[in-house]
Chains A and B, each alone.
Chain A
Amino acid sequence: MFGMFSSGSGWKFSSLGVLGWDSMSMSLIFLVFWISGMMMMASYSLESKGSSYMFYSLVYLLTVILFLCFSIMNMFYFYLVFEASLIPTLMLILGWGYQPERLQAGSYMLMYTVSASLPLLMGVLCVYSLFGGINFFSVVYVDSLMTEGIYMSVFMLSLMLAFLVKLPMYFTHLWLPKAHVEAPVAGSMVLAGVLLKLGGYGLMRMMSFFWGGFHTVYSVVGILSLWGAMITSLICLRQSDVKSLIAYSSVAHMGLLIGGLMSGVYWGWEGSLIIMLAHGVCSSGLFALAGLSYDILSSRSVVVNKGMLVLLPSLTFWWFLLSVCNLAGPPSLNLVGELFLISSILSYSDYLCFVIGVLSLFAAGYSLYLYVSTQHGKVSLYMNSTVINLSGRVNSMFFFHWVPLNLIIFKVDL
């Protein structure tokens, strides 16, 4: 049931026993290239600041690392490049962030991610010494006897913890809003768009590696993260910082994703992949919008970001479309993903319908809050309210963010 995803509807291709692709990793690789193109387009304004050479080389480096990360089959080398993706991100935040607080944000990110991934290293080495193979595509059948016991729980948790922090699950999410708030536009785009998906991808790989028994750890993690997602969507409503709001909203979405993944149903897997793609593009677009507003208004606060409808009517259009996608409005890929996830979670337990109800309601709530509070209302006094026209570059960038969200829905059997 679990491993069907890597063998059932998808296809596999591997070369030299080192790199390998199936439909899951291929779709995420497309996401990587798509988002990195968007990053280049969004940070066009750096050209004038003179440090663009190093910036672009970091972005290229990150793209290559992420490509390798999604295509390496060996678990150990996967760990290696998984960690390697941290360094260019850190450099992006430290080198091109806005405030001095970026140092604290960077060290938060580094410490959270590294301390959670050291158990993964131990776990991978243990897998090697216990099972003798660490290839993702070879599946270990775990007896139901083996899945019991505290040692096995610790073992499973140590394999999953790094990805849970990366996603991030509620309780380990504190680094994410800080990093997003301090990162430059391209940094937050790649962070929300691809790096979080790296966590989801790793989680799915680890779970499909242990094809077999349903483990107690799964239910604990799933229910905790669903509960956390509910809390987070409440937290979103009282954020005054636009970027921080978007960051918390991605924590909430990822909580739903973990819940669906841990329910142990095939639909949960399918839905997780779809919502990873959808949320990757959607939140990246929202961060690009927030970054553009910051460039114009020099503030991320919702108090200052008022009445953008008057200033930038065409930008409002994109805000509207992407907010609707973020709340999983009808013709979007997010909707499909959330439906899959919700039905799989409900098949796990009916009592979770309360949590999911609150979660979806407030997801709509904070998306609307984000849209309304930035677009409507009176323009700040210090802005001279002349209409600014967006360049074709910016418009096309948002167009490319929006297109996959509403067109892939025609072909969701990825």
Chain B
Amino acid sequence: MNGFIFSLVVVFSGMITLSLQSVHLLGSLLSLEMMMLGLFFFYSLVSCVMTGGEVYLGLIILTFGVCEASLGLALFVSMVRSHGVDYVTVFCLN
């Protein structure tokens, strides 16, 4: 049970830091990653508890999490190339 709560705390803190990140874009990508890892951890616990839970699905989640992160990094790089900084504040937010 502690593991469940711990992983949910990781997921939610990842979401909250992603939402409240206001300085560096890299920080928000990192918190996104943290959220995905928390979800992976949560899923491994779930698959242990439930009968018939398949562990290999966790690998798919992990794979797609990495895929997402690499897309985020690619966008990040091209953003830095075009804007010169990675501050969230350079976004035109309207």
| A and B directly contacting (CB within 8 A) | no
Residue positions of B touching A, CB distance < 8 A: none
